[in-house]
Amino acid sequence: MDVSGANLQLDSFEELAIPLFDRLYNFAHWLTQNRDEAEDLVRETYVKALKGFSSFQLGTNFRAWIYCILRNTFLTSRKGLKARMTVPIDFDEEEEGPESAIERDTPETLLLARSGHELLQKAIDELPLHFREILLLCEVEEMSYQEISDTLAVPIGTVMSRLSRARQTLRNQLRPQLQQEAGLRILRGTNHGL
């Protein structure tokens, strides 16, 4: 046998890591909000992951593991530290009334579908980091609560409450913009479907 353990390890890493490249980059760009910084973040993540791959247990959740590395790398960067400073210390302990989570957005949702992605992308961009990342992990990366819990290193209960508040915050941020957009459309006479 001339197949070295190192080569086997490299093969496994490549097989696991390359398919996640586009998604990791997308997530990194959302976090950093800058192409160059996103590239640096992804590059550093791959370097760290490759270096630490021997500690990764094959068969466990590689995706959560590498996302966790990317997020931790970001949080220790200058931009990440700055973003953390803006998070209220007790943001997960805030109680949320049930009513705020059950508002309907049918007209806004319809308008959202018509207005393209720009309004939504802008609103996601403006979310605080802790809401932006959990929303992206759930809605875009389609991670389970357990995977999100592993990635963010928080209990599942926190995942549920933070996710609920992230969705609500996004709705609240969108509402005035969508109402304004709806008004403009009515003025222009282009809002026949609503």
Partner 1 sequence: MVCESWKERLDIYLDGELPDEEMRTFDAHVRNCPSCSADALSRVQFRRAIHLAGKRFTPSAEFRNRIQQSIASKPRRAFRLGWMLAAAAAVVLVVGTLTSTYRGNRSDRDQVFSEIADLHVATLASASPVDVISTDRHTVKPWFQGKIPFAFNLPELQNSEFSLLGGRMTYLEQTPGAHLIYDVRKHHISVFVFQERSLPARLTDSSLKPAKLSFNMETWSQGGLRYFVIGDASAVDIDSLARLFKTAS
With H, G, I as helix, E, B as strand and everything else as coil, classify residue 93.
Answer: coil
**Residue 170, interface with partner 1 (CB under 8 A)?**
yes
User: How many residues contact partner 1, by CB under 8 A?
Assistant: 52
Q: Cβ(38)–Cβ(28) under 8 Å?
A: yes
**Interface residue with partner 1, options 21, 87, 155, 194 (CB under 8 A):** 21
Nearest distance from C-beta of residue 61 to partner 1, angstroms = 16
**Residue 79, interface with partner 1 (CB under 8 A)?**
no
**Interface residue with partner 1, options 63, 71, 130, 171 (CB under 8 A):** 171
Nearest distance from C-beta of residue 39 to partner 1, angstroms = 5
Angle between helices 35-51 and 62-75 (to 10 degrees): 120
Give the x/- contact pattern for partner 1 in 100-139, rule: CB under 8 A.
-xx-xxx--xx-xx---x--xx--x----------xx-xx
**Interface residue with partner 1, options 81, 87, 140, 153 (CB under 8 A):** 140
- Give the span between the Cα atoms of 104 and 22, in whole angstroms: 33
**Interface residue with partner 1, options 3, 85, 89, 187 (CB under 8 A):** 3
Residue 132: how many other CB atoms lie within 10 Å = 22
Q: Cβ(102)–Cβ(85) under 8 Å?
A: no
Q: Which element (helix H / strand E) includes 143?
A: none
Q: Output DSSP code: residue 72.
A: H
- Give the span between the Cα atoms of 164 and 187, in whole angstroms: 34
**Interface residue with partner 1, options 26, 61, 158, 177 (CB under 8 A):** 26
**Residue 87, interface with partner 1 (CB under 8 A)?**
no
